[in-house]
Amino acid sequence: MLARFLSEYSFIHDSHYMYTRDQDQATNAEDVLFDMFKNEETGLLSVGKFLAALRITGLRKNDPRLQEFSDLLKKEHAKTGGHEGISHETQKLDREQFRSIINPNIVLISRAFRHQFIIPDWAGFTKHIEDFYWKCKTNTEGKVASYIPQLARMNPEYWGVSVCTIDGQRFSIGDTLIPFTLQSCSKPLTYAIALDRLGQEVVHQYVGQEPSGRNFNELVLDYNKKPHNPMINAGAILICSLLKTLVKPEMGLAEKFDFTMDYFKRLAGGENLGFNNAVFLSEREAADRNYALGFYMREHNCYPDKTNLREIMDFYFQCCAMEANCETMSVMAATLANGGICPITEEKVLKPDSVRDVLSLMHSCGMYDYSGQFAFKVGIPAKSGVSGSLLVVIPNVMGICMWSPPLDPLGNSCRGVQFCEELVREFNFHRYDNLKHATNKKDPRRHKYETKGLSIVNLLFSAASGDVTAMRRHRLSGMDMTLSDYDGRTALHLAASEGHLDCVEFLIEQCGVLHNPKDRWGKRPVDEAETFGHMQVVEYLNNYALAYKTELENKQNECVDDNDSCSKTAETAVQSPLP
């Protein structure tokens, strides 16, 4: 009877960690996070230190998805006597306070610290972005656009890059908070709204889908007497006519402007978006070519019925004169990368089919007369504007906005184009890069320690060096803490042999690993501790083994009177924490 019980108990206990791991992660994530960041002396967690670590994963403290977490932090600060003018980030929280504050957003935060976002090693990836930024900053080629007087006043030294992934990871460097007008970067956005509201069939009755092979403002239509595509001036003017005349036709020009601005803000997750009236007026005054395009299309009956050309032209100039910064535009690009769902608000702004069509034309027509070469060299959907902005979308990964006013002869930002080339030279983001065999490029979507072998090395190194914080991260990420090397040596063996009592306690008490695994030579962790003279570890392991044996005997005695319930009792025993 005892032999059968011990056999069943041993089997169940050996599989206990794997059996309950997912459940433990869900229920213990708050505790693991608290233990990762608490001060060992005071036992309290510094809010500032925690938020700094969260930022390293790519999440910002002002992320709309963390609003509840932020509000609860401020309430706790006020409740515990926080003074006005002193930041709530200076707080020190105990375990219960931390649990209650983090609980509403624990899923998102635990995903961040488990490295489960699209770019797991965010710090490593952004280091490359910084390198590209500084390399491109030395580029002094190009001239600031001068055909619109207001744009000619821009400082050619301005240079900013912002990144936003589909999981809402954010990074910015340079002049990313200085506003600039969208200009042609508004064209894919207005096209997306038209597709979303009217459908592909209606929109493409009026505008084509082919690269023009001509200048973006040339007085020319395709063989069907339609604008070639929505990314050139004629096509964008016609898209504005569809939005004005067919989408909510009862709206006046002012209401339609607000309607479009609201769409843009939703694409940007509520980030800063404005309107530059000076640029609008300047653009309207210098719009002879655009008016010529407008009248030329009216001559060929390109517009829907009841179109007011003056209102349409004003609406087009207003869309171009909307003002944003790199940070805002990067979220818009990320919304396109995420199939129309804004990453930081999780609102479905556009239909996936509409976004697909927008990206297709950005890929083939988004870079003026450089579109073909850009598609060949860089292979990423993009749209440039004469203000120096460059909107880049890496589908299912991230959106990037670059801004630098000096333009090349084709109207694209010199630094922006160079940055894109550097990006695809380092990473396999080109649409036709082979993800499996492009060995000369990095894939930031892959985990740094993706194979089991590397996971073992990482875990055992943490145990041998006594890095209990790293071991908590491994556990939080879902790693099997019982992994062993070729010789059967586990993390517990190494922690015991090096005398790291805190690691030994963590592995046994919080991770539930067996206290007496044997390596290929039959040695247990307690044997390793004795060999190297770590008597505190020896004492702890012997006491735990004694408690373990006592618990077994007690459960065995309970089973003697009821053979049928023996297995069930054993299972209940191992699912309860041992002393």
Give the residue numbers marked as catalytic. 184, 187, 316, 368, 386
Three-class SS string for 334-391? HHHHCCCECCCCCCECCCHHHHHHHHHHHHHHCCHHHHHHHHHHCCCCEEECCCCEEE
Within 13 Å, how many C-alpha atoms sit on residue 327's CB side? 19
The burial of 423, by beta-carbon neighbours within 10 Å (0-12 exposed, 13-18 middle, 19 or more buried), is given as buried
C-alpha neighbours within 13 Å on the C-beta side of residue 29: 21
H or E element: which one contains 49?
helix 47-56
How would DSSP label each residue in 412-448? Answer: -BHHHHHHHHHHHHHBS-STT--TTT-TTSB-TTS-T
Q: Give the three-state DSSP class for 485.
A: coil
Helices 95-102 & 67-79, crossing angle to 10 degrees?
140
Residues 308, 231: Cα–Cα separation, whole Å: 22
Bridge partners of 162, per DSSP, are: 172, 401
Q: How far is CA 73 from the centre of its chain?
A: 24
Residue 525 structure tokens = 């962790």
Taking residue 391's Cβ as centre, other Cβ atoms within 10 Å add up to: 29
Tokens representing 497 are: 């042999």
Say if residues 245 and 307 touch (Cβ distance below 8 Å): yes
Q: Report yes or no: 506 and 471 within 8 Å, Cβ to Cβ.
A: yes
CB contact set of 19 (below 8 Å; sequence gap of 6+): none
Distances (CA, A) of 180 to 325, 367, 403, 410, 507: 6, 18, 8, 20, 54
Q: How many other CB atoms are found less than 10 A from the CB of residue 345?
A: 19
DSSP 184: G
| Sign of the dihedral defined by the CA atoms of residues 17, 22, 26, 30, in that order | positive
Amino acid, res. 264: F
- Name the DSSP class of 577: P
Structure tokens, 384? 């440039």
User: Which residue, 78, 109, 103, is CA-closest to 91?
Assistant: 78
Q: Are 147 and 217 in contact (CB under 8 A)?
A: no
Please, what sign has the CA dihedral across residues 45, 49, 53, 58? positive
Cα end-to-end span (Å), the chain:
25
User: Is residue 568 helix, strand or coil?
Assistant: helix
